[in-house]
């Protein structure tokens, strides 16, 4: 489980995160949602250590990440997988080499063992036959799948996904969501997803944290969203006509 306690962060005197405390559960897809500029990415980067918060604590299974020694941080990083918004695959490496990269850097496995594990991960994300291609030669959806395969190559305990659906069509988007959810349950990973994709929120949100202007506004599950009376959350979730119609239909049915 990952827990954040009283996180504050500001840039040039402008507060971006204000007293954020939250728990992210193991074996569940934990979503951080909110408008652009609400502090989602800063919170995620603070949790993974790419940004140092001004104050507060980040606990990985009870251990304070910010107080860890350099060696402990390095060991913890081997247990973290991350899927970036733009996939962040290494341009100069092929698909297979990208997935093998963390194995090469952090295990003593032989080349054959590494390749076997990388092929297994690629099969797990339903991607075969593209292993000799370079990232620039495959589609955005395939790139995301390669990035997921790379993220799970070392059997991580924690998986972070920064806007995994951005730039994808709705169908591919659902496939990626389902893949992340299945992997989370299958390997009992603590997954944190940063998104403003409503279909993800309603489809795979086991534990949702809604941020508004750097503050935690609401916590609940995807089922709770339909019955929520939080105005800011409702304004955000049901901003699109499609979801507004669904909400009205459900309200009408309940009446």
Binding site for another protein (CB under 8 A): 48-50, 73-78, 80, 82, 84-86, 88-91, 101-102, 104-106, 160
Residue 167 near residue 131, CB atoms below 8 Å? no
Which residues are CB-neighbours of 254 under 8 A, at least 6 positions away? none
- For β-strands 55-60 and 63-64, DSSP reports them as antiparallel
Least distance from another protein to the Cβ atom of residue 108, Å: 10
Containing 103, the helix (H) or strand (E) segment is: helix 95-106
The one-character DSSP state at 142 is H
* Torsion sign (Cα): 87, 92, 97, 103: negative
Shortest Å distance, C-beta 131 to another protein: 19
Closest CB to another protein among 24 and 160?
A: 160
CB of residue 16 to another protein, shortest distance in Å: 16
DSSP code of residue 125: T
In this structure, are residues 132 and 95 in contact, taking their beta carbons and an 8 Å threshold? yes
In the bound state with another protein, the residue whose beta carbon lies nearer, of 41 and 212, is 41
**Closer CB to another protein, residue 101 or residue 187?**
101
CB closer to another protein out of 190 and 212: 190
CB of residue 225 vs another protein: minimum separation in angstroms? 30
CB closer to another protein, 88 vs 202: 88
Cβ-Cβ contacts under 8 Å for 120 (sequence gap 6 or more) = none
- Comparison of 74 and 244: residue with beta carbon closer to another protein: 74
Q: How many other C-beta atoms can be found within 10 angstroms of the C-beta atom of residue 175? A: 18
* Burial zone of 19 (CB within 10 Å; 0-12 exposed, 13-18 middle, 19+ buried): middle
CB of 88 to another protein, least distance (A): 4
SS3 109: coil
């Amino acid at each position: 489980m990952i827990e954040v306690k009283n996180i504050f962060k500001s840039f040039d005197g402008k507060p971006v995160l204000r007293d954020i405390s939250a728990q992210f559960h193991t074996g569940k897809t934990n979503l951080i949602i909110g408008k652009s500029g609400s502090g989602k990415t800063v919170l995620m980067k603070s949790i993974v250590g790419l940004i140092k918060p001004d104050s507060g604590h980040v606990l990985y299974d009870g251990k304070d990440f910010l107080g860890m020694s350099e060696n402990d941080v390095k060991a913890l990083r081997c247990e973290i997988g991350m899927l970036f918004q733009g996939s962040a695959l290494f341009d100069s490496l092929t698909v297979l080499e990208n997935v093998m990269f963390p194995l090469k850097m952090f295990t003593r496995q032989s080349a054959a063992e590494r390749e076997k594990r990388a092929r297994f991960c690629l099969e797990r994300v339903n991607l075969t036959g593209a292993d000799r291609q370079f990232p620039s030669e495959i589609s955005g959806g395939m790139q995301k799948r390669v990035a997921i395969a790379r993220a799970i190559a070392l059997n991580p305990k924690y998986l972070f996904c920064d806007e995994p659906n951005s730039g994808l069509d709705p169908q591919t988007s659902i496939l990626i969501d389902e893949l992340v959810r299945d992997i989370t349950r299958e390997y009992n990973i603590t997954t944190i997803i940063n998104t403003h994709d409503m279909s993800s929120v309603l489809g795979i949100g086991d534990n949702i944290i809604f941020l508004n202007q750097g503050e935690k506004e609401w916590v609940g599950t995807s089922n709770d969203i339909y019955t929520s009376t939080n105005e800011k959350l409702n304004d955000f979730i049901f901003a699109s006509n499609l979801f507004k119609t669904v909400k009205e239909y459900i309200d009408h049915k309940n009446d």
